[in-house]
Structure 1
Amino acid sequence: MSLIPKEVVDQILTQADIAEVVGDFVSLKKKGQNLWANCPFHHEKSPSFSVSPAKGIYKCFGCGKAGNSVQFIMDVEGTSFPEALKYLAKKYGIEVPEDEPNPEYAKEQSERDSLYIVSDFASKHYQHLLHQHEEGSIGQSYLKERGLSNSTIKKFELGYSLDAWSDLTDAALKAGYKQKYLESTGLTIVKEDGKKYDRFRGRVMFPIHNISGRVIGFGARTLKSNDKKSPKYLNSPESDIYHKSNVLYGMYQARQAIRMQDTCYMVEGYLDVLSLHQGGIENVVASSGTSLTEGQIKLIARYTQNITVLYDGDAAGIKASLRGIDLILENGLNVNVVTFPAGEDPDSYIHKVGDEKFKAYVAEHAQDFISFKASLYAEEAKGNPVKKAEAIREIVTSISKIPDPIKRSVFFQSCSLIFDIDEQLLISEYNKMHLQERQQKQQRSGSPEDLAEAEAFEAEQEEIQKPATEADSLKRYEREIVRMLLNYPDKVLVDGQNTCQYMLEQLEDVEFRTPLYARLIEVVKEKLQQGIIPAADDFINYPDQEIRTEATNLLSDPYELSHNWETHQIYVPHESDLLPYGAERAVLRLKWRNVQLLMKSEMEKLRLVTDPAEQDRVLQIIFQLKSFEKQIGDLLGIVVNK
C-alpha cells in the first residue's frame, strides 16, 4: 500500500473541522467558547467531553481521551492513522492517490482495517450485481414490490448475492484479498475438506454500517419461497468490527435527523427503516429483531434522550419486548410508545395510509411508556385482584429503573390513577424493592468478584494517597513550562522576546528529565532554529501519538468564565494578561526544584566521600547551591531554612 502524500495529509488536517467531525458522532451543545457533550468513550450522565473549534481539539476531562480530528476517528472507530485520514478525505471530498488493491495490500494493513476493506469490497460487489447482473433483476423486482425507490436503494447501498456457490469468494480472491479476512467477516465459510462457499447466496443484501458509514456486516433476505431449510433472514456473524449489541441498522443515515429532531424512532426490521426513511421520517433505526442492549441505547443517547418505539400490532410481541424497554429507562432516557392496528407494522402501514397520515397517526398515538404499560396491564387485570397485584408490581419495577426522582414521582401519581390505588402504596412497594436490592448487593459483597473489585479499589486509593515522588514534583514544574510554550508561543513578554525565546533562553542550562517533555522542548528548539515560531497545530498534528495526546491535554482547559461576568462588567484577568509574571515564576519554580534535587544528590555524595579534599569540594558546591536556593526562594516569596 502506498503512503498518503504529505501535501494531501496537510490538506485533510486543514479542512477537517473538529466540530463537524465530532458532531457526526455526538450531539454537541455550545457553552462559552467550546462545545460540550456526554463522552462517547465512557458512560457518564453529565457532559465532560469538550470540543474546542478554535484549537481544533477534543478532550474528555472524565476518561482523558484527547486529540485532533484524526485522533478522534482513530479513537471512535478503533482504526489506524491512514484509515482515519481516508475517512476524513472522503468526508471532505479530498482525493487520496493510492494504488489499486493487490495481493500485498491486505498484508500491509492491520487486521482490523483489512476486515473493513473486505466488507467494503463485498458491499460494492453486491451493489454491482443488483444493478448490472441479469440475475440482479430478481432482487430489483422484490425491492420494487416493497415500494422502494432507486434513490432509497442507492442511499442504503442495497445489493444482491448471486445464487451461486462461491461467487463473492472467487471475486475477492481474484482481486487480491486474503481468504482469512473473508472468513473472519463471515462472508466465506470453509468446510473441513477445504472447500469454500459464500455465506450469502440468492439473497437481497442489506449492508450494516457503523456510525461513520463503514460497512461492518450484512443482513440478507432469501427470495426462495419454497426453501424451508434456509432462514428467511441471515445475518453476518460477530467479528472484530461487527458487534450486534453495539449496532443499530440505519443509524448512520439517521444520526443527523435524530439530532435535529431530538428524538429517535425505533422499529424492528430493515424494511421498516427503509420505508419510513423514504417517507420523510429519517430519524429511524432498527434493532434488527434482537432485544435492545445497553450498547445500542448508549449509541442513541449520543444524539438524543428521547426514544419512540413503534410496535407492530401484535399484542403478544409487544408484551415480550416490554422488559427490554426497562433498560432504556435505567439509562435515563425518555421512552414513548406507538402501536399500530392489528396486523400492521410500520412498513405496511405507511404504504397503506401514506406519509402524511402516518406522521399524523404517530403524533396522535404516542404515549409515554410507563402509562402505556400500566394501561396494558390494567386492562388485562380487570376483575382479577391477583393479576392486578402482579401488574402493579410489574409497573413499580419499571418505575424503579428511572434514575430521576422527579420523573419517578410523576409516574407514581399517573399509575395510581390508572390502577385506582393509593399513590403511597406504590411508593412503599418501590421502597421495599429498593431495600431488597441493597440487601442482595450486601450479601454478594463477599463473592470473589466483589472482593477482587474491593482490593483493586483499595490499591487505587493507596496509589492516589501515595506521597508525590521527586520525579512527580519535577514533572509538574516541567509540564507547566511546556504548557505555556504550547498555549502562548508567540506572546511577547519582555524586550521583544516571545514566550518560546524567553523561556528557552532562561532554561538553557536546565535539562528536562521527563522524557516526553524533553522531546517536546526539542521540537520547539528545532522549529525556532528553522526561524519558525511553533503553533499549536504543529503539536496537535505531530506524527508521534504520545506528543499529540499530551499537547491536546496541555491545550485544553476544563473551565471557562461565564459571559455573564462580562455582561455585568466584572473584570477577571486572563492568564495571558499576566503572562510575563506567570512565565517568570514558572521558570523560577523549575530552577528552584532542580537546585533542590542537585543539592540532595551532592549531600548523598558527601556521605560516601572519604577524601578530605573531595569533601571540601562537595561542601563548596552544596553551599553554593544553598545560596542559589535562597536567592530563587526570595524571588518566589518562599522561606528557605538556613
Structure 2
Amino acid sequence: MALIPKETIDQVLHYADIVEVVGDFVTLKKKGQNLWACCPFHHEKSPSFSVAPAKGIYKCFGCGKAGDVVRFVMDVEGASYPEAIKWLAKKYGVEIKEEEKTPEQQLAQNERDSQFIVSDWAKNRYKKLLQESEEGESIGWAYLKERGLNQATIETFELGYSLDKWDDVLTEAQQAGFDVKYLEKTGLVIKREEDGRRYDRFRGRVMFPIHNVSGRVVGFGARTLRRDEKAGAKYLNSPESEIYHKSDVLYGLYQAKQSIRQEELCYLVEGYLDVISLYQGGVKNVVASSGTSLTEGQIRLIARYTDNVTVLYDGDAAGVKAALRGLDIILENGLNVRVVLFPDGDDPDSYIRKVGDARFRKFVEEQSQDFITFKTQLVAREAAQDPVKKAEAIREVLQSIAKVPDPLKRQVFLQQTSMAFHIDEQVLISEYNKLVKQTAPGPRAASSNAPSARPHSGGGSRSPSTGQHAPSQTVVTPTGLSQRPADDAMPDEAYGIMEDESGYETETIPDVQMSVEREIVRLVLNYPAQPLHEGVSVAAYLLGQTDETPFRTPIFADLLHLCRETLAEGKFPDARELVRHHRADIRAAISDLVTDPWELSPNWITHSIYVPREIDLLQQACDNAILRLNKCNVERELGDCLAAMNELDPSNIEEYLAQMAIYKSLKQLDMQLAGLLGTIISR
C-alpha cells in the first residue's frame, strides 16, 4: 500500500475546515462560540451535536461520538484514515503525491487494480444477462420475482445471472481485452490441471455481487436454480483472492452502513436473500456473514458503525448452534448483543414474506433476548433436573461472560446469571475467577477480564505529599502510557478501574479522586499556554506540581503523560493534535475535556451582570486543583493507616502508638488542606 507523505497530510489538515466538512452532512446553527445540530450518528429531536471551530473538534453529548475533522469523515463515511485524508484532499483540491513505490509495491497495486476492474466488468455482464438475455429473464428474473423482489431492490444489490454455458464469461472477457490470469485470480474462471482447459466457475446461477465497504465488487455468491444431480452445491462463492477475504467482508454492509449508524443497531443474518428481503421490507440495517462462521474482522466492521448487534437466525438446531457460535465472538469484541430465533422451519427471508413487514418488526421486538437470557434458558432447558448438567451449563454461561471486556457489564451479567439459576452471586464470582485462572496464559493476560470481587489492599509506592506508603500504581507503566490496543472503543474501566498485580482483583477509584485528576488534565488541555504568575504557563505549573504524583485513573494518567512529553519537546500540549491519537479512548477523553455542553447566555451582558470567566481565575483554579489532589492522597493514606491500626496486635503498644502518631500527623495535614480549600470538617 502506498504511503501518503506527512507533508501532504499536514497540508490537508491545514486547509480542512471542520465547520465546512460537517456542514456537508448536517445543518449547523451557531449558539455561543460553538455550532450545534442534530447528530448524524443517531436519532434525536433536540440538538446535542456540537462543533467547536476554534478547537477543530466535534462532540455529540448524546451518543458520545467525538474527534477532529478526519475522524468525522472516518465516522460518517465508514472510511479508513488514508481514505478520509484522500476524501478531504479531493474536497480542498490538495494533490495527493504518494511516496514512490518499489517495483514490487507497484506490481502488487497493479494486480489488485486489475482484479477490481475485471470483477466490476463481470458484475455488469451478469446484470445485463439477467435483464436482457432470454435465459436470464425466463429463469433468473422469474426466480427473483417469485421471491418477491422488485426491480428497485434488484438494482440496489446489482443482482445478475450467469448463463448455463461453459465459457460465456471467459469468451466475452477475452474479447473485451482482459488478461485470462485475472479471471483466474478472481475465481471467475477455473483452469483444469489435467488438460489446461479453462471454464466459467458460475454457470446457470443467480449472481449476488459482494461489495466491500466502499462499494467495490470483490467477489460473488451464486445460487443454482437447477434441481438435478449435476447442479452442484446450492450456493457457490468466489474463492479467496487478493481483493476478497471472506473473514473481512459482510454482505450488504455497503447498502446498510448509513442505516446501521442512524438506527444505532445492526441486524446480523446468514444468507444473501435474508439481507435483501429485509432491506426491501424497510429493515435496511441488516448484513450477512454469507453462511461462513462469524469472524473478528467482520465484528470490527460492524463496530465502525454501532456497538449494538441483534442476531436473527433460524430456530432449528443449526440456527441455534450458529447463534451460539457467533455470540461469544461478538461479546469478546465488546459489542452489545441480543438474539432472535424464528419459528422452526422459518428464516428471516421466509418469515418476512409470510407475515409482512409490520408483523415481522413486532416479532423481532417482542422476541429479542439479551445473551444471558437466551443462553441460560437454552442450557437450563437442556440440563433439566440433572445437577451435573446444570453445573456444566452454568460454566458455559460463565465462559461467555469471561469474554466481555467491560467489567461493569460482566458484573451485571453475573447478577443476571445468579438470578436465572438461583445461585448465590458470590459463588458464581468464585467459580468465574477459577475459570479465568484456568484459561488465562498468565496473570496479566487475565486481569482485564476479572470481576470486582473485593477491594485491593496492600503496600506500594510512596506518596510525595507525606512520604507514607500509598497503594500500588499498576496500570500506568513506568515508561509512560498504559497498554491499550489502538482504536479500541473506550472501556468503562479506563475511567476508574485499576488492575491488581494478582491479575484477578480490581480497585475502584473514588469519584472524588477521578474528578480531581480530570480537572487537572482539563485545565492543561484548555489553557496550556496561558500565563500564570511570573510568566509560568498553566501547563508548566500543573505538570510541575504533579511531577512526582502518579495519577490513579488510567486514562488521565495517560493524557498527563502525553502532555508532559509534548512540553518536554518544547511545545505546548495542543488538543487539536492530541485528538488525532491512534487510541480511541484518548481521542474520546480529549474531546470530552475540551468541549462543554453549556455556554453563558448573552443576556448576562445585556443586563450588565458581570460573570467572571474561568480564564480570569486560572491561578485560583489551578491552586485548588492541586490542593484537592493532595487532600485526596492524604485521605487515602488516612484510610490505609486506620486499616493498619485495626490489624495490629492489641498487645503491641509501641507499634500502635507509632501508627497513632502517623495518623495524627496525617489528620493535621488533612485539616490544613481543608482550611485552604474552605472545606468544613465534620469529624
Distance across 1 between alignment mates of 2:274 and 2:20? 34
After superposition, the C-alpha distances for 1:343-365 in whole angstroms (9 at most, x for unaligned) are 11111111111110111010111
Distance across 1 between alignment mates of 2:84 and 2:314? 44
Q: Contact between 1:203 and 1:220, CA under 8 Å: does it hold in 2? A: yes
- 1:190 has 2:191 as partner: yes
Shift of 1:223: 1.1
**RMSD (Å) for aligned C-alpha atoms:** 4.0
AA aligned opposite 1:112: R
When normalised by structure 2's length, the TM-score is 0.55
Query: Residues 17, 162 of structure 1: CA spacing in aligned structure 2 closer, same or farther, 3 A cutoff?
Result: farther
Which residue in the other structure is 2:69 paired with? 51
Shift of 1:396: 0.6
Which residue in the other structure is 1:451 paired with? none
After superposition, the C-alpha distances for 1:379-422 in whole angstroms (9 at most, x for unaligned) are 11111111101100000111111112221122112222221221
- The 5-angstrom pairing of residues 445-456 of structure 1 reads none
- The 5-angstrom pairing of residues 209-608 of structure 1 reads 209-228=211-230, 230-438=232-440, 440=442, 561-563=594-596, 567=600, 571=613
Shift of 1:438: 3.7
| SS at 2:339 equivalent | strand
Which residue in the other structure is 1:172 paired with? 173
Distance across 2 between alignment mates of 1:270 and 1:67? 28
Distance across 2 between alignment mates of 1:17 and 1:219? 40
AA aligned opposite 1:144: K
Q: Contact between 2:58 and 2:66, CA under 8 Å: does it hold in 1? A: no
Q: Contact between 2:265 and 2:307, CA under 8 Å: does it hold in 1? A: yes
Shift of 1:436: 2.1
Q: Contact between 2:174 and 2:180, CA under 8 Å: does it hold in 1? A: yes
Q: Contact between 2:202 and 2:222, CA under 8 Å: does it hold in 1? A: yes
When normalised by structure 1's length, the TM-score is 0.58
After superposition, the C-alpha distances for 1:216-270 in whole angstroms (9 at most, x for unaligned) are 1000001111035611100001111111101111111111111111111111101
Shift of 1:563: 3.8
Query: Residues 443, 69 of structure 1: CA spacing in aligned structure 2 closer, same or farther, 3 A cutoff?
Result: closer
Shift of 1:31: 5.4
Which residue in the other structure is 1:158 paired with? 159
Which residue in the other structure is 2:119 paired with? 119
| SS at 1:319 equivalent | helix
Query: Residues 570, 561 of structure 1: CA spacing in aligned structure 2 closer, same or farther, 3 A cutoff?
Result: farther
Shift of 1:153: 0.8
After superposition, the C-alpha distances for 1:574-629 in whole angstroms (9 at most, x for unaligned) are 9xxxxxxxxxxxxxxxxxxxxxxxxxxxxxxxxxxxxxxxxxxxxxxxxxxxxxxx
Q: Contact between 1:262 and 1:306, CA under 8 Å: does it hold in 2? A: yes
Distance across 2 between alignment mates of 1:22 and 1:567? 28
Q: Contact between 2:275 and 2:288, CA under 8 Å: does it hold in 1? A: yes
Query: Residues 73, 248 of structure 1: CA spacing in aligned structure 2 closer, same or farther, 3 A cutoff?
Result: farther
Distance across 2 between alignment mates of 1:17 and 1:275? 38
Distance across 2 between alignment mates of 1:254 and 1:213? 11
Distance across 2 between alignment mates of 1:115 and 1:20? 36
Unaligned runs of 5+ in 1: 1-12, 38-45, 75-79, 84-105, 445-459, 465-551, 575-642
Q: Report percent identity of matched pairs.
A: 55
Distance across 2 between alignment mates of 1:430 and 1:294? 24
| SS at 2:214 equivalent | coil
AA aligned opposite 2:600: T
Q: Which has the higher helix share?
A: 1
Query: Residues 555, 394 of structure 1: CA spacing in aligned structure 2 closer, same or farther, 3 A cutoff?
Result: closer
Shift of 1:562: 2.7
Query: Residues 226, 52 of structure 1: CA spacing in aligned structure 2 closer, same or farther, 3 A cutoff?
Result: closer
Distance across 2 between alignment mates of 1:572 and 1:114? 59
Distance across 2 between alignment mates of 1:57 and 1:364? 36
| SS at 1:160 equivalent | strand
Q: Contact between 2:120 and 2:216, CA under 8 Å: does it hold in 1? A: yes
AA aligned opposite 2:340: V
Query: Residues 374, 256 of structure 1: CA spacing in aligned structure 2 closer, same or farther, 3 A cutoff?
Result: same
Distance across 1 between alignment mates of 2:308 and 2:430? 29
AA aligned opposite 1:337: V
Query: Residues 289, 564 of structure 1: CA spacing in aligned structure 2 closer, same or farther, 3 A cutoff?
Result: closer
Distance across 1 between alignment mates of 2:351 and 2:97? 45
Distance across 1 between alignment mates of 2:141 and 2:263? 32
Shift of 1:194: 3.0
Query: Residues 214, 17 of structure 1: CA spacing in aligned structure 2 closer, same or farther, 3 A cutoff?
Result: farther
Q: Contact between 2:437 and 2:443, CA under 8 Å: does it hold in 1? A: no
Q: Contact between 1:258 and 1:264, CA under 8 Å: does it hold in 2? A: yes
Distance across 2 between alignment mates of 1:409 and 1:302? 26
Q: Contact between 1:27 and 1:304, CA under 8 Å: does it hold in 2? A: no
Distance across 1 between alignment mates of 2:25 and 2:146? 39
Q: Contact between 1:27 and 1:302, CA under 8 Å: does it hold in 2? A: no
Shift of 1:50: 3.0
Distance across 2 between alignment mates of 1:389 and 1:410? 20
AA aligned opposite 1:157: E
After superposition, the C-alpha distances for 1:506-543 in whole angstroms (9 at most, x for unaligned) are xxxxxxxxxxxxxxxxxxxxxxxxxxxxxxxxxxxxxx
| SS at 1:238 equivalent | coil
Distance across 2 between alignment mates of 1:333 and 1:146? 33
| SS at 1:280 equivalent | coil
Q: Contact between 2:67 and 2:579, CA under 8 Å: does it hold in 1? A: no
Shift of 1:51: 2.0
Shift of 1:27: 5.4
| SS at 1:567 equivalent | coil
Query: Residues 58, 150 of structure 1: CA spacing in aligned structure 2 closer, same or farther, 3 A cutoff?
Result: closer
Shift of 1:49: 5.5
- The 5-angstrom pairing of residues 73-84 of structure 1 reads none
Q: Contact between 1:49 and 1:58, CA under 8 Å: does it hold in 2? A: no
Q: Contact between 2:41 and 2:262, CA under 8 Å: does it hold in 1? A: no
Query: Residues 556, 335 of structure 1: CA spacing in aligned structure 2 closer, same or farther, 3 A cutoff?
Result: closer
Shift of 1:553: 6.8
Q: Contact between 1:36 and 1:51, CA under 8 Å: does it hold in 2? A: no
Q: Contact between 1:188 and 1:198, CA under 8 Å: does it hold in 2? A: yes
Query: Residues 18, 135 of structure 1: CA spacing in aligned structure 2 closer, same or farther, 3 A cutoff?
Result: farther
Query: Residues 410, 561 of structure 1: CA spacing in aligned structure 2 closer, same or farther, 3 A cutoff?
Result: closer
Shift of 1:302: 0.8
Shift of 1:180: 1.8
Query: Residues 564, 321 of structure 1: CA spacing in aligned structure 2 closer, same or farther, 3 A cutoff?
Result: closer
Shift of 1:69: 4.5
Query: Residues 136, 67 of structure 1: CA spacing in aligned structure 2 closer, same or farther, 3 A cutoff?
Result: closer
Q: Contact between 1:66 and 1:553, CA under 8 Å: does it hold in 2? A: no
Distance across 1 between alignment mates of 2:353 and 2:418? 39
- Of 73, 83, 86 in structure 2, the residue corresponding to residue 70 of structure 1 is 86
Query: Residues 73, 282 of structure 1: CA spacing in aligned structure 2 closer, same or farther, 3 A cutoff?
Result: farther
Q: Contact between 2:67 and 2:580, CA under 8 Å: does it hold in 1? A: no
Q: Contact between 2:68 and 2:579, CA under 8 Å: does it hold in 1? A: no
AA aligned opposite 1:278: Q
Shift of 1:328: 0.6
After superposition, the C-alpha distances for 1:17-56 in whole angstroms (9 at most, x for unaligned) are 7559999xx959955432479xxxxxxxx97853269xx9
**Which is higher, the Rg of structure 1 or of structure 2?**
1
Shift of 1:439: 5.2
Shift of 1:315: 2.8
Distance across 2 between alignment mates of 1:306 and 1:555? 25
Distance across 2 between alignment mates of 1:225 and 1:287? 25
| SS at 2:390 equivalent | helix
